[in-house]
Structure 1
Amino acid sequence: MGASLSSLTENESTANGRPGLGDIPENCVACVFMYLTPPEICNLARLNHAFRGAASSDSVWDSKLPSNYHHLLDVLPQRIYEGFSKKDIFAFLSRPVPFDDGNKEVWLDRISGRICMSISTKAMLITSGEDRRHWNWFPTEESRFHVVAYCQQVWWFEVSGSVKFPFPPDIYTLTFRVRLGKFYKRLGRRVCNFEHTHGWDLGPVQYELFTSDGQHAVSEYSLDDSDQDDTSANLKRGDWIEYKVGEFIVSRSDPATEVRFSMKQIDCTHSKGGLCIDSVSITPSDLKARRSKGVSKYQ
């Protein structure tokens, strides 16, 4: 059976004169590849010369790239991608492309070729964020930006930010990635410190987003009471959790869509603290739904 399969992948016909996979014209293979995902194309490219040639065709990879992929390239010096084929461009953009002084990243999902984005807390406005009595920054390998904001103690809590980008038409979900408690390593082990964690059980935190075309979404979560939401019932203090702010729809890339977002609890009747904020993510909604539902652990 192995010999039979091997003969089918050769460029010549099989011994009995019947055509094999190697006899299929490269342009026909390329037409089929347009309906497959990038990982499937890369796997099939190993079969024979015709499949490898089709898997390198610009027409195949042009169908996998978003229509305005050049906007992702615009944030980079041209010399970096000069001479790249469409396959090279897809492979390059499937890795995070930093912009805005490295505080934001955008990339293509490797399966669907759709745009995803992450925004560091460094790119956001934090009330009293410069006062080290209230806020600190500390490095961590658990963040894609290698640094997170830590709220030690505040009365007025508000974190906000914005991004303007020519998102391709799609439905997107915006989430905040946060965690109760501060963590550090001791003798190579991850140690939890909840010394300053307080106040989050006394009232919900409000999340909000606005878009430049008038869309608005708002949600509320109690950060220190996971039993209130079935989707987070198994989560405990110390887990990174993505809280869904809401969805917005992009119907056209031009003009670019501006998204403004915030996370706040401005009830000054009690202090709160002991909270880490990592980033905001913007992801096509059905991609997000496959990985998580509502509030989830960060993967």
Structure 2
Amino acid sequence: MGMSVRTGMDALPESCVSMILSFTSPAEACRLSLVSSTFLSAAESDVLWARFLPPNHAGIISGSAAPVEFSSKKELFLRLCDRPLLVDGGRKSFKLERSAGTVSFILSARELSIKWSDDPTHWIWKTLPESRFKEVAELRTIDRIEIEGSIETKALSPHTLYGAHLIFKVSDSAFGLDLMPFETSVEMGNWVRPGTARLQCPDQRKRCLESLLYANRSEMLRKHWETERDSRGGKAPGEREDGWMEVELGEFFIGEVGDGDGDGDGEVKMSLKQVKGYQLKGGLVVEGIEVRPKSPVH
């Protein structure tokens, strides 16, 4: 008579409840842990949080630049959400998004292909205390910019819409970066999405200086800029929480990895270029390209 009878979901074994919760999201699992003691226990289990971690998380952790300590799979998950992990010799930064457990990466400047970056008359490599990476690339002077990066789609989260963002700064002595739009693209297999982006917007003081230096040529380039921006909708730069600037290079969707439809296999290529106009430019500081989720698709 004194024994309570459990009914419904609460009567299921903890391992079964853990499996059911694994079909939700990390955020939903935490909310459901308030339902009962069985749900609470299941929501803390390694069985559940192992499902929320990416399949290749062991390999990622083993490639970390610093040891990763954890006592449970949930603690590891939260660790990867709270503090980005430097991996692959410190050339990439890895992080999980807390609510859905989706993966994001930042590819450092050293991980990118930056044309003529090995020529110190055009680019120099330097250390900045505010950068998460050992080195950043700073443009001294050049007339053509070509920056490319790539990442394997199997390293990313399936059924997820991603955005690729160039992370950069513009020095106080920068020049030539705001006269013409930059061409951007994101490519997967035969699928290519082109676009345009701005790294700087002209201000009044610079316009006066440029009118003296470049006269009619500057005006011609600016008219070309306006035409391109109006017809193709160039992306505008924005400030990040970490103090850097970013501009979106494009977006892409990762399907089911290994399903053979081309969405989840292979690699994604991202680029920012300015190869027209032959206008000298300098003062661009490149930290890397971030590939992060825009929204999960269920």
Specify the TM-score bucket, using the shorter chain as the normaliser.
0.5 to 0.7
Shift in Å, 1:165: 4.0
Q: Is 1:244 equivalent to 2:248 in the alignment?
A: yes
Q: Which runs of 5+ in 2 are unaligned?
A: 204-228, 259-263
Which of 22, 39, 59 lines up with 1:74 in the alignment? 59
Aligned residue number for residue 43 of structure 2: 55
Aligned residue number for residue 258 of structure 1: 267
- One-letter amino acid of the structure 1 residue matched with residue 287 of structure 2: D
Which of 198, 222, 225 lines up with 1:222 in the alignment? 198
Q: Is 1:106 equivalent to 2:83 in the alignment?
A: no
- State the aligned residue count: 249
Aligned residue number for residue 164 of structure 2: 174
Q: Is 1:140 equivalent to 2:128 in the alignment?
A: yes
After TM superposition, the structure 1 = structure 2 runs for residues 120-199 of structure 1, keeping only pairs within 5 Å, are 120-166=108-154, 167-169=156-158, 170-181=160-171, 194-195=172-173, 197-199=174-176
Which of 55, 69, 74 lines up with 1:87 in the alignment? 74
Map Cα deviations across residues 98-148 of structure 1 (whole Å, 9 max, x no partner): 433221122221221111111111111222212222212222233222432
SS at match of 2:124: strand
Shift in Å, 1:56: 1.9
- One-letter amino acid of the structure 2 residue matched with residue 155 of structure 1: D
- One-letter amino acid of the structure 2 residue matched with residue 198 of structure 1: F
Aligned residue number for residue 6 of structure 1: none
Equivalent residues of 1:208, 1:218 under 8 A apart: yes
- The 3 A distance-change label for structure 1 pair 146 and 48 is farther
Shift in Å, 1:176: 0.8
Equivalent residues of 1:173, 1:284 under 8 A apart: yes
Q: TM-score, normalised by structure 1?
A: 0.67
CA distance in 1, matches of 2:185, 2:272: 7
- The 3 A distance-change label for structure 1 pair 201 and 77 is closer
Shift in Å, 1:42: 6.2
Aligned residue number for residue 188 of structure 1: none
Shift in Å, 1:47: 11
- The 3 A distance-change label for structure 1 pair 42 and 151 is same
Equivalent residues of 1:215, 1:248 under 8 A apart: no
Equivalent residues of 2:151, 2:268 under 8 A apart: yes
CA distance in 2, matches of 1:52, 1:280: 39
Map Cα deviations across residues 186-221 of structure 1 (whole Å, 9 max, x no partner): xxxxxxxx22x111222111111211x322122212
CA distance in 2, matches of 1:152, 1:208: 24
CA distance in 2, matches of 1:98, 1:113: 18
- The 3 A distance-change label for structure 1 pair 230 and 99 is closer
Q: CA RMSD in A?
A: 4.0
Equivalent residues of 2:237, 2:246 under 8 A apart: no
Map Cα deviations across residues 224-254 of structure 1 (whole Å, 9 max, x no partner): 217978985987xxx7322111111221222
Identity of aligned residues (%): 26
Equivalent residues of 1:72, 1:106 under 8 A apart: no
CA distance in 2, matches of 1:231, 1:127: 23
CA distance in 2, matches of 1:240, 1:97: 18
Structure ranking higher in helix proportion: 2
Q: Which runs of 5+ in 1 are unaligned?
A: 1-12, 182-193, 288-299
Equivalent residues of 1:177, 1:243 under 8 A apart: yes
Aligned residue number for residue 213 of structure 2: none
Q: TM-score, normalised by structure 2?
A: 0.67
Shift in Å, 1:280: 0.6
CA distance in 1, matches of 2:56, 2:278: 46
Shift in Å, 1:34: 5.6
SS at match of 1:286: strand
Equivalent residues of 1:226, 1:232 under 8 A apart: no
